[in-house]
Structure 1
């Protein structure tokens, strides 16, 4: 048996689940993960041919395969057994408004999104589908299901990192998986937690999505996704320690390359007439193509405009697009399909490839055809409730914690406060990129407010409303008389056994 996965976290975890479980069942099994640059996404004919040449008789895909019609037909023509496990949408052709769904000739297809599939919850990730297969297999082979449930900590990582809705079964996976991860016996997970300075911290969904997940993803972006998988499979602590550090170093490189790419994109936008466009199309020939999507997302956040970042590839130009709620990126690209070699995606995110001489025309056509208004491009933050700071207490915050884990489909509540009085500001961190404010409540209590992303916006708002001197005083003096509106989420800052209320600011006005 050969398992064919994908190079992102969900793909890596899916392979891990199938590989370890099938080994336990006594199967003769190995795996292959496509190279992001050389192979692209999913199973291809070269991978199928290599499996056939090496005596493999059964292929199992995970987190891919539902759209691989031709590749699976090729495998069947070679006499291979093919099992597809996937969670992506089933491909279709549409004619006169009627959709006809296309199915491959695989021997078995396990995907809750198939029209005929009666499994009620359709939003599990690829690793969740792999887990369900193993759960059924263990039952068929009379293996204790407790062995299967040990895999839930890994399903939790994939569920958060693949950004599926944290509702229903996914919420159960993540809530239980987090408890298991905090006491994980997996040598690779323990090594990665230590390398990320998380060994003494309670692991939350945040750590999965923004610390552990990006490290596993970095191996697939800049090197080989097999390194992330090998870490999870390791049995030697010293080897795991070394590989975990290598993966963390890769992620640090990815962060630096991303930051540099974002700065270059912003510089291009601000120094050219691209700044006047409603849809930003930026060509940076020499950035790593695996980072285009992250950079597009950051640029989109800064300008609140749909953004496409393009970079040079072996056979032309490749890119990634990220959009806002008011603009369907997939339909926008569909309207310009004659300029594109290939594209695919969703309303909020897409990938595309084209020839370099078509870039200017793509930019012009996208902007000419889009109907975005100034209102559409105004960033909006919807609050769940107004919450005066003097009403905050530890009990309220602990009650909010019951709503965890937060993520897509179960987002953190957003609270708002008007005219919060700021008495002092201080920059923190080695890069001075975190801002700590002292806020004075109406009952004369001081509450800390932390700003992690919008430092420049905060400073500009102060200067705009109060002047440069007021900003200088805010950093250098106490008892300033500056007020702003904030959106925030309350949290508890615990230090040396003391618990203090603080707010995490996510919007400034």
Structure 2
């Protein structure tokens, strides 16, 4: 078990008053406050927010201007081309805009860049091709805000350009050399405050730019994904064209999938969209989604944010990683039962292949770290044969395993391309700025980055990153922190409390599943279960004699070896109800532990 440091949230509030106002327990009130929610109105929105609480899309910059341009082009019959992105957010954004424009009679098609051939975002080849095809208007989604020269070229060619995006805006004096291959999409959404609060915004010369990150934006919640920006545009477009609101709401689950898939914080408006979207996914009218749910053996009436993040989302992402994202988009647009079935099966198989390739990359990377780089404070691993689209995932797993900032590089055409994943104590973008003389291209934020460099410079890159980190990173920085919501004795656990915790769902980034803790649990029994011996069943009793059954999902034999002769342990846990053969019993899932 990796060493962890346990931290107890200590945010203050009148928990009894919150509990009384909203008919919840003080424990649940404390958890809500721990998620950064304060003020009675905000707590009410957190617990009971619905579609009617979503913000006015017209508060987004240039929204009405963009809709006006698009309506005019539709009425004139001008050809419009949507240019999306190859990740799940880009695919969902493209789907939303394409379906909406088709609905109002537009002459519209789409283009999605190839991850390896084109890289992230719109490029001049895509623009030149659009001009050759006689396209009048380009509409970007989930990209475009950094494409200054590319959009200038589109304007030279006489095209109208509307940008919809959610990524951070380049600032002239920030030192940012532009988004790297991995930094502008799913892995690079958080604003880097130091780089975005000074200097002059560098904006593309588009006819309209809809982006909540623009300075002076009046939109109350800028932390939305590209799919949500597109969804907001669809709402205004439908309202202006007299399309019934039900048709806008019918696409809500796609915006929810984009939000979870792009790892946005499940707070405020995002949480409402995902909560509503999960309710609708069970009876979605989208044939492709239904087939994908079926192929992954998911129960359509109980899909969670976890299933989007770790099952549905990776399937939609797999096509952009290993083939073309047009396959995922084709599935969402498909209206033929047999074809949708075939495409869903293909996506599932692609994702299974991606998982096998990822695991092979993780195994190779870990073996290199153990053999060569164990003492390095910053891990830099070159895997020439690893698929470049998997570098970010492998880097993330290395970061989890070793608790260190991790960069994984692969061999690309004429250079090495890399992705990085960081820890809280290491500002990854600033670290790259310090070695930018070695880099061909880079971009990112504190926790993730994408970059490229000459293959012969990889060793120097590793050496200098570690030299720069020698004084900054201490051994203490490598110990992951695990946050505890409440030190809660077993006596407080009941079926009604477990049911009440469902009010806090959906869980995810920024709205993590609650964690409780107890010290000095006496271990009455412990046994390894399961065909793969990856479940440990525990019987525990606390200092006041209250007992509780628990399960631990881990390598059972290693757990028993670590336990040795110990009869007492401290635990972090989550309560639940175990149903078996018609019997219902309270139990806990143990998430972290320390033996005495």
TM-score under structure 1 normalisation? 0.92
- 1:297 paired with 2:376, answer no
1:319 shift after superposition: 0.8
Partner of 2:113: 34
Mapped to 1, the partners of 2:295 and 2:405 lie a distance apart of 36
Q: What SS does the corresponding residue of 1:147 show, helix, strand or coil?
A: helix
Partner of 1:420: 521
1:242 shift after superposition: 1.5
1:495 shift after superposition: 4.3
1:5-404 equivalences in 2 (<5 Å):
5-94=84-173, 98-272=198-372, 274-370=373-469, 371-404=472-505
1:188-241 deviations in Å (ceiling 9; x for gaps): 111001101013550111111111111111111111111111111111122111
Mapped to 2, the partners of 1:433 and 1:15 lie a distance apart of 44
Mapped to 1, the partners of 2:318 and 2:96 lie a distance apart of 20
1:491 shift after superposition: 2.7
Q: Tell me if the contact between 1:321 and 1:350 (Cα under 8 Å) persists in the aligned partners.
A: yes
1:428 shift after superposition: 2.5
1:506 shift after superposition: 2.7
Partner of 2:43: none
Distance 1:187 1:433, change over 3 A: farther
Mapped to 1, the partners of 2:361 and 2:529 lie a distance apart of 25
Partner of 1:447: 549
1:163 shift after superposition: 1.1
1:236-267 deviations in Å (ceiling 9; x for gaps): 12211121111111111111111111111111
Mapped to 1, the partners of 2:571 and 2:589 lie a distance apart of 10
Partner of 2:568: 483
Partner of 2:584: 499
Gaps of 5+ in 2: 1-79, 176-196
- Count residues with an aligned counterpart: 489
Distance 1:124 1:94, change over 3 A: same
Distance 1:236 1:483, change over 3 A: farther
Q: What SS does the corresponding residue of 2:86 show, helix, strand or coil?
A: coil
Q: Tell me if the contact between 1:390 and 1:441 (Cα under 8 Å) persists in the aligned partners.
A: no
1:457-476 equivalences in 2 (<5 Å):
458-459=559-560, 461-462=562-563, 466=564
1:276-330 deviations in Å (ceiling 9; x for gaps): 0111111111011111111111111011000011111112101110000111011
Q: What SS does the corresponding residue of 1:418 show, helix, strand or coil?
A: strand
1:140 shift after superposition: 1.2
- Over the residues paired in the alignment, what is the CA RMSD in angstroms? 1.9
Q: What SS does the corresponding residue of 2:476 show, helix, strand or coil?
A: coil
1:70 shift after superposition: 0.7
Mapped to 2, the partners of 1:221 and 1:103 lie a distance apart of 29
Distance 1:47 1:200, change over 3 A: closer
Structure 1 stretch 289-298 or stretch 197-206: which is displaced more?
Answer: 197-206
Distance 1:440 1:38, change over 3 A: same
Mapped to 1, the partners of 2:448 and 2:422 lie a distance apart of 6
Distance 1:413 1:40, change over 3 A: same
Mapped to 2, the partners of 1:504 and 1:288 lie a distance apart of 36
Distance 1:433 1:65, change over 3 A: farther
Mapped to 1, the partners of 2:582 and 2:121 lie a distance apart of 49
Mapped to 2, the partners of 1:200 and 1:98 lie a distance apart of 47
Mapped to 1, the partners of 2:255 and 2:585 lie a distance apart of 34
Q: What SS does the corresponding residue of 2:257 show, helix, strand or coil?
A: helix
Q: Tell me if the contact between 1:458 and 1:508 (Cα under 8 Å) persists in the aligned partners.
A: no
Structure 1 stretch 409-418 or stretch 156-165: which is displaced more?
Answer: 409-418
Structure 1 stretch 195-204 or stretch 182-191: which is displaced more?
Answer: 195-204
Q: Tell me if the contact between 1:166 and 1:409 (Cα under 8 Å) persists in the aligned partners.
A: yes
Q: Tell me if the contact between 1:450 and 1:502 (Cα under 8 Å) persists in the aligned partners.
A: no
1:385 shift after superposition: 1.2
1:159 shift after superposition: 0.6
Mapped to 1, the partners of 2:533 and 2:131 lie a distance apart of 53
